[in-house]
Structure 1
């Protein structure tokens, strides 16, 4: 995946000015560009970004994310179970069903 997108990775590193930019850092660039896209009335992409390059960035980001979080176990280990338990405790507390000592 990285070798197939070497040109894009080099381009992003050069223009984002992130030293020694590598594939695992893609989320930093993607997240900022995605936010700019969503708020394009107040935040514009830098001059080096356009929709065709962003499409490539988005596809690469999606593919690398699938590799990073590809199993149920990895998703759970990264916090899914904790977040669910925290949410359930919060809802129980809100609804007056405290599980703690009286």
Structure 2
């Protein structure tokens, strides 16, 4: 039973089709790690616009897997529209990174990928 992600929305969307679900999980595992790394790099380089693009891109995938980071992603999007320093978003970035990496580890184990 997953603890760092939830399959409710995916099961609903797929009608319980396990092969389809596995394909969506595989796509998540392929796309999210580089997006997360790119968002981290954008923040480190104080590139607000790029950080926004990656945060916004990841949001629907995180929601589909029940990874509750909407507050942190929304904070990231607001930060990207500001002139605040990177230190203002570090706490949210750490939470996002930890939760996403925990979910990725668990998905790989659960789906044997």
TM norm structure 1 = 0.39
| Larger RCO, structure (CA 8 Å, separation 6 or more) | 2
Q: Rg: which structure is higher?
A: 1
TM-score (normalised: structure 2): 0.37
Bigger helix share: 2
